[in-house]
Amino acid sequence: MKHCTIHPIPLWISPSDKSHMTYFANLGQPLCVTGYIWYIEGAGEKILVDSGGDPEHLAKIGIPAHNLQSLESGLDKVGITASDVDLIIQTHLHFDHTAFASRFPNARVIVQKSELEFARNPHPVWAGLYDPKLFDNLKFEVVDGDFKISEDINILFTPGHSPGGQSVSVKTDKGTAVIAGLCSILDNYNPPPLPDGKTIPVIAPAIHSDLFQAYNSLVRIKELADIILPIHDPSFLTGSAIP
């Protein structure tokens, strides 16, 4: 039986520092943070993970970035249009993951209950990352915790980067791939030894609403996944299908 294929669709890139992704680690190491949407092919319905953002929204909080391609161009390369999309699984509601959500007229949008509640009334520290205008009129399907989409696709509740973050587990022909919904890179899941020589399984993301939740969520992803797909890692820039 053939399982699903995942297509990363890169939309923007931003020069950064690895320490912005890895809590108190990799300071001074350059990194090109990349923003994606992810198309899951072979699921029956046409499913995206995240709906994308752009440099205009990033610039509002002082993050420099530039476009890699338009939303339409990225979708065209995988053979779909925005109108074709049936379902969007929003990992979380930060503006760089939701800015284009309203451009998918027929899509239902799955979000965690705790994420939507927080996004509509964010703490002042986090208010710059949420823009309720981007998601006020979406066709939300609100879930609370882990949720099964199909035999091949499951939502995993992975809070900590944001209060209601979620990841997406996808069965592929080469094992279980997890699109890791915390803003992270591959280094988060393969940390170097600590200065005293001790090792830890993961490094929490530098941006978090709860540091310990974020750590535990990364550990959960690492234990479940044969293939980890962090949503900001530049290694998927080629757009090659996974697996």
Contacts (Cβ under 8 Å, ≥6 apart) of 62? none
Residue 179 has pLDDT above 80, yes or no: yes
Query: What is the Rg, in whole angstroms, of the alpha carbon atoms belonging to the chain?
Result: 17
Give the pLDDT score at 151.
Answer: 96
CATH code given to domain 5-236: 3.60.15.10
Residue 238 has pLDDT above 90, yes or no: no
Give the pLDDT score at 196.
Answer: 85
Whether the bond into 8 is cis, omega within 30 of 0: no
pLDDT tens digit sequence for 82-115:
999 999 999 999 999 999 999 999 999 999 999 9
Place 4 in a pLDDT band, splitting at 50, 70 and 90: very high
pTM here is 0.96
Euclidean distance between CA atoms 172 and 167, whole angstroms? 16
Average of per-residue pLDDT values in the chain: 95
Give the pLDDT score at 16.
Answer: 95
Give the pLDDT score at 195.
Answer: 78
User: Is residue 69 exposed (0-12), middle (13-18) or buried (19+ Cβ within 10 Å)?
Assistant: middle
pLDDT tens digit sequence for 114-166:
999 999 999 999 999 999 999 888 999 999 999 999 999 999 999 999 999 99
Euclidean distance between CA atoms 78 and 133, whole angstroms? 29
Give the pLDDT score at 58.
Answer: 85
Q: Read off the pLDDT of each residue in 201-222 and give the average, rounded to a whole number.
A: 97
Give the pLDDT score at 61.
Answer: 81
Place 78 in a pLDDT band, splitting at 50, 70 and 90: very high
Residue 239 has pLDDT above 80, yes or no: no
Break the chain into its structural domains and give their ranges.
5-236
Q: What is the 3-state secondary structure (H, E, C) of the chain?
A: CCCCEEEEEEEEEEEEEHHHCECCCCCCCEEEEEEEEEEEECCCCCEEECCCCCHHHHHCCCCCCEECCCHHHHHHHCCCCHHHCCEEECCCCCHHHHCCHHHCCCCEEEEEHHHHHHHHCCCHHHHHHCCHHHCCCCEEEEECCCEECCCCEEEEECCCCCCCCEEEEEEECCEEEEEECCCCCHHHHCCCCCCCCCCCCCCCECCCCCHHHHHHHHHHHHHHCCEEEECCCHHHCCCCCEC
Give the pLDDT score at 80.
Answer: 98
Give the pLDDT score at 136.
Answer: 86
pLDDT tens digit sequence for 46-70:
999 999 998 888 888 888 999 999 9
Give the pLDDT score at 1.
Answer: 75
